């Protein structure tokens, strides 16, 4: 449905003198769910921040379909159809849930479309509708993540990038969120999810990339990764 | 009845204090910049009102949008061109920068306008209202009303406009705001410009009440600090509450302790608040 693929080719990026990414290649096809797994500090968050234009790529190329996003600003990336749900949700704590969702549509001018998408988000997450007048800071962790994902959807993206979906959440909540993400994908979005919880990520995704110290060390479909001895030992704690 | 008179004086003064402080508070809250230029921008607004009146005969109330506009343009350009370059640096860096800029501006004004205190004397003052023993000079009340109107307009702007929502979002989380597509650097400059507009407008309104001199800039800056600490930082209602509180306290203080102690009282209060309730009367995390 979306028909646009994200391509990340040989990307290098970092902060000041510290280089974090060393030639990362990654792609997300239309309608795919792709996960990036790896330990803390491997460069997963930096990768998403580089794609969304918060961190500037020093080398390599990032493209979404025909649109080159290598030197794009966050607003350009969002306009091209990529939304970034940041690590730790980063909601606007003293704004209501509904105002948070509307902030997601900040760049859009199509009022009718915004209302439609707001309804859509409330259908995915009825809890958010219940709490729409409440300050986002008063939500539980799971509800905050729902609000953050909903805020991402409000920009009408074709690709949704989620940093640490499961962080600090109970397993049942993660499962609920995963189910809704599958529905969202069914409605035509591709999803790129970054996870420390390797099990949850491999359950959800079609394909996975393993990052270690700023490099992709392994990639493949999730069944292959689940049985890969290296992955089992390093990330799943199984021999 | 004398107490009612003092209360009325305090409220009239307090409305102006709110207007003086609200721009300072907004810039501090949103940009995390302590703008030491603020006092000089207020004085600049007063001079614009003075020259508009003496040269063209334009009433200071009508000069408000002009002075506000001029100071907006100046502060917007300063933020865009200079302050944005160090906006991510620790607060001491931006503090030092605005301190330096203030030295330049204040001394430029001293050179241009001299340090003499000048007075804008309206040829046709509106007289005063008197009822049940309380006398209210109409010009002062009108200035206070205009100050409150401007402050409320700013409140509506932040609440209801697209730009206002962006400003509030940047105030709460600048990284998340950037991910929503907000151009943070532009919002910084607009916010700084709005702070300038409010300063210039307040300067106009003050010109019919207080003598005008570049030396007054530190007094206005000090009052802005006190209002922010009293009311709570970065919110419009906080500035209104803080401004009115300061106005009332000063006018009662002047009555009981003598006018020479009004400022001392204000700053003693500042210290007490910093110790007892550093978030201010309306302070809460986030905004409004």
pLDDT tens per residue across span B239-255: 999 999 999 999 998 88
Q: Do A52 and B179 touch (CB under 8 A)?
A: yes
A137 touches chain B (CB under 8 A): yes
Low-confidence ranges of chain A (pLDDT < 50): 1-2
Which residues on B lie below 8 Å from A90 (Cβ)?
Answer: 173, 175-176, 179
- The contacts of residue B181 (CB under 8 Å, 6+ apart) are A74, A75, A78, A79, A106, A107, A155
pLDDT for residue A239:
54
Closest partner CB to A93 (pick from B172, B178, B181):
B172
Closest partner CB to B172 (pick from A94, A102, A106):
A94
pLDDT for residue B286:
44
Low-confidence ranges of chain B (pLDDT < 50): 285-288
| Two structure tokens written together for B30 | 């949103």
pLDDT for residue B53:
95
Closest partner CB to A54 (pick from B162, B173, B178):
B178
Q: Do A107 and B180 touch (CB under 8 A)?
A: yes
ipTM of the predicted structure? Answer: 0.91
Q: Which pairs with CB-CB distance under 8 Å and at least 24 residues apart come from A108-116? A: A108/A155, A108/A156, A113/A156, A114/A154
Which residues on A lie below 8 Å from B173 (Cβ)?
Answer: 90-93
pLDDT for residue A231:
85
pLDDT for residue B269:
85
Q: Do B286 and A94 touch (CB under 8 A)?
A: yes
- For an interface test with B, which of A106, A107, A151 has the most B Cβ atoms less than 10 Å from its Cβ? A106
B182 touches chain A (CB under 8 A): yes
Q: Domains, chain B, ranges and CATH?
A: 2-115+135-276 (1.10.3470)
Give the Å distances, CA to CA, from B106 to B40, B110, B213, B214, B218: 6, 6, 10, 6, 10
Instruction: Give the chain B residue nearest A94 (alpha carbons).
Output: B286
How far apart CA A174 and CA B250 sit, in angstroms, is 57
pLDDT for residue B25:
93
Give residue-wise pLDDT tens across range A120-172. Answer: 999 999 999 999 999 999 999 999 999 999 999 999 999 999 999 999 899 99
Q: What pairs with residue B83 in β-bridges? A: none
């Amino acid at each position: 449905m979306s028909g646009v693929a994200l391509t990340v080719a040989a990307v290098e990026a970092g902060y000041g003198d510290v280089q974090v990414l060393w030639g990362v290649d990654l792609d997300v096809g239309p309608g795919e769910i792709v996960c990036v797994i790896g330990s803390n500090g491997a460069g997963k968050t930096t990768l998403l921040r580089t794609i969304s234009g918060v961190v500037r790529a020093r080398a390599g190329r990032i493209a979404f379909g025909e649109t080159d996003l290598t030197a794009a600003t966050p607003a350009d990336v969002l306009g091209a159809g990529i939304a970034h749900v940041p690590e730790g949700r980063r909601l606007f704590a003293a704004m209501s849930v509904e105002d948070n969702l509307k902030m997601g549509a900040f760049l859009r001018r199509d009022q009718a479309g915004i209302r439609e998408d707001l309804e859509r988000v409330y259908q995915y997450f009825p809890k958010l509708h219940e709490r729409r007048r409440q300050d986002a800071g008063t939500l539980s962790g799971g509800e905050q993540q729902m609000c953050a994902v909903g805020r991402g959807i409000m920009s009408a993206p074709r690709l949704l990038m989620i940093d640490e979906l499961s962080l600090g959440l109970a397993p049942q909540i993660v499962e609920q969120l995963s189910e809704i993400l599958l529905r969202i994908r069914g409605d035509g979005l591709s999803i790129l999810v970054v996870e420390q919880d390797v099990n949850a990520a491999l359950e959800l995704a079609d394909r996975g990339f393993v990052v270690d110290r700023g490099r992709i060390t392994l990639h493949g479909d999730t069944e292959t990764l689940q049985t890969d001895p290296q992955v089992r030992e390093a990330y799943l704690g199984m021999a | 009845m004398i107490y009612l008179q003092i209360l009325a004086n305090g409220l009239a003064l307090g409305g102006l204090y709110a207007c003086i402080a609200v721009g300072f508070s907004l810039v501090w809250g949103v940009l995390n910049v302590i703008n030491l230029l603020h006092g000089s921008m207020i004085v600049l607004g007063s001079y614009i009102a003075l020259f508009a009146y003496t040269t063209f005969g334009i009433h200071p109330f009508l000069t408000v949008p002009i002075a506000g506009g001029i100071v907006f343009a100046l502060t917007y350009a300063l933020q865009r061109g200079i302050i944005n370059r160090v906006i991510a640096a620790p607060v001491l860096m931006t503090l030092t920068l605005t301190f330096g800029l203030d030295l330049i501006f204040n001394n430029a004004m001293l050179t241009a306008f001299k340090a003499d205190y000048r007075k804008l004397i309206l040829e046709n003052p509106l007289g005063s209202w008197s009822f049940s023993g309380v006398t209210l000079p109409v010009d002062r009340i009108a200035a206070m009303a205009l100050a409150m109107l401007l402050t409320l307009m700013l409140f509506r702007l932040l609440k209801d406009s697209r730009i206002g929502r962006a400003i509030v979002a940047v105030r709460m989380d600048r990284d998340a705001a950037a991910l929503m597509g907000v151009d943070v650097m532009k919002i910084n400059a607009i916010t700084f410009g709005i702070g300038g507009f409010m300063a210039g407008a307040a300067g106009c309104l003050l010109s019919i009440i207080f003598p005008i001199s570049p030396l007054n800039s530190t007094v206005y800056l000090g009052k802005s600090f006190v209002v922010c600490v009293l009311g709570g930082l970065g919110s419009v209602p906080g500035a209104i509450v803080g401004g009115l509180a300061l106005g009332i306290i000063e006018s009662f203080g002047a009555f009981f302790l003598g006018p020479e102690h009004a400022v001392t009282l204000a700053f003693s209060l500042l210290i007490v608040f910093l110790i007892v309730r550093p978030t201010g009367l309306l302070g809460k995390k986030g905004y409004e």
